[in-house]
C-alpha cells in the first residue's frame, strides 16, 4: 500500500511528500501513457482542508510527487513563484470573473500547466479561463479518480500549445528576417546594379567572411542606409 501521507502546516501552506504507489494495476481512465510518472512539483490551491486531502489522495497513485497545498489566496502569486511548480491545480467552488482572473494571473498558465476544478460555472467563465491559458477547466468534476487523467490531459494540452506558440513565433521571426534580407538585396541591386541572385550571393559571402548570420549582415546594411539617408 502507499506510504502514509505526511502533512506539515506552515502559515497557509501544507507540504505533502507522498510515497510511491506500489500498485501495478493499469488506470482505465488514463487515455495516454503516463505523463506524471516522473517526480513533479505540484501546487494545489484549495482553502478547504478536507477537499485538499481529497485532492492529495487522488494524486498519491501517480507517483512520488512533491505537493504544496496553499490554502489562502493572499500573496498567491508570490507563493506559487517561490515553489516554482511544474503543475498548478486550483479547486474553487464558484469563481467570479474577478476571482478567475486573479487565480489565472497568479498561477501563470502560459508558464506551466494549470488545471482548474470548479463546482459551478457558465459559458463566459469557461471561455475566459480557456482564453487566459488554463490547460484544463473541469466543472463539477472533482474526484480522486479524475484528478490524475485531468492533469495528464492538462500537461499534454499545455505542451501542445507551447509548441504551437514556439512554431508561430519562429514563423513570424522567419518572415521578418526575410523582409530584412529582401530590403538589403533591393538596396544592393539599386546601388551596384546587381540582379537579385548576385545581390543575395554578395550578402551571403559577406556573412560568411564575417562569421555572422545572413540576416545580421542584411540588418546592418539596412540600418546603415537609414542613418545615411
Last residue of a domain, one of 138, 164, 190: 164
Is 213 or 17 the better-scoring residue by pLDDT? 213
CATH number at residue 197: 1.10.10.10
Distances (CA, A) of 37 to 62, 63, 70, 155, 165: 6, 6, 23, 12, 26
Same domain, 143 and 207: no
Q: Give the tens place of pLDDT for each residue, 53-97.
A: 888 888 877 777 888 999 887 888 888 888 999 999 888 877 777
CATH number at residue 96: 3.40.50.2300
Same domain, 152 and 187: no
Question: Backbone phi, then psi, for 207, in 5-degree steps?
Answer: -65, -45
Same domain, 20 and 123: yes
Determine contact, residues 36/60, Cβ cutoff 8 Å.
no
**What's the total number of domains in the chain?**
2
What is the span of the domain harbouring residue 200? Answer: 172-228
Determine contact, residues 40/66, Cβ cutoff 8 Å.
yes
Cell of 109: 498558465
Q: How confident is the model at residue 37 (pLDDT cuts 50, 70, 90)?
A: low
Q: Calculate helix-pair angle for 97-107, 76-83, nearest 10 degrees.
A: 30
Same domain, 145 and 211: no
Residue 84 domain-assigned? yes
Q: Give the tens place of pLDDT for each residue, 195-214.
A: 999 999 999 999 999 999 99
Same domain, 43 and 150: yes
Distances (CA, A) of 147 to 43, 137, 180, 225: 13, 12, 49, 59
Residue 35 domain-assigned? yes
pTM for the whole structure:
0.62
Residue 1 domain-assigned? no
Same domain, 86 and 37: yes
**DSSP-derived 3-state class of residue 52:** helix
Same domain, 137 and 52: yes
Determine contact, residues 134/155, Cβ cutoff 8 Å.
no
Amino acid at each position: 500500500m502507499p506510504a502514509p501521507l505526511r502533512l506539515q502546516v506552515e502559515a497557509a501552506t501544507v507540504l505533502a511528500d507522498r510515497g510511491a504507489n506500489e500498485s501495478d494495476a493499469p488506470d482505465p481512465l488514463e487515455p495516454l501513457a503516463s505523463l506524471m510518472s516522473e517526480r513533479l512539483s505540484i501546487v494545489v490551491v484549495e482553502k478547504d482542508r478536507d477537499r485538499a486531502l481529497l485532492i492529495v489522495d487522488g494524486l498519491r497513485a501517480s507517483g512520488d510527487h512533491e505537493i504544496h497545498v496553499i490554502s489562502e489566496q493572499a500573496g498567491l502569486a508570490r507563493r506559487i513563484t517561490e515553489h516554482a511548480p511544474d503543475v498548478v491545480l486550483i479547486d474553487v467552488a464558484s469563481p467570479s470573473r474577478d476571482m478567475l482572473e486573479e487565480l489565472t494571473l497568479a498561477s501563470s498558465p502560459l508558464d506551466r500547466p494549470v488545471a482548474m476544478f470548479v463546482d459551478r460555472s457558465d459559458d463566459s467563465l469557461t471561455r475566459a479561463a480557456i482564453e487566459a491559458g488554463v490547460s484544463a477547466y473541469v466543472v463539477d468534476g472533482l474526484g480522486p479518480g479524475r484528478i490524475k487523467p485531468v492533469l495528464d490531459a492538462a500537461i499534454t494540452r499545455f505542451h501542445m500549445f507551447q509548441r504551437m506558440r514556439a512554431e508561430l513565433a519562429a514563423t513570424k521571426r522567419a518572415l521578418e528576417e526575410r523582409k530584412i534580407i529582401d530590403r538589403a538585396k533591393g538596396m544592393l541591386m539599386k546601388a551596384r546594379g546587381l540582379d537579385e541572385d548576385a545581390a543575395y550571393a554578395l550578402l551571403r559571402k559577406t556573412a560568411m567572411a564575417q562569421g555572422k548570420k545572413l540576416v545580421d549582415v542584411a540588418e546592418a546594411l539596412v540600418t546603415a542606409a537609414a542613418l545615411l539617408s
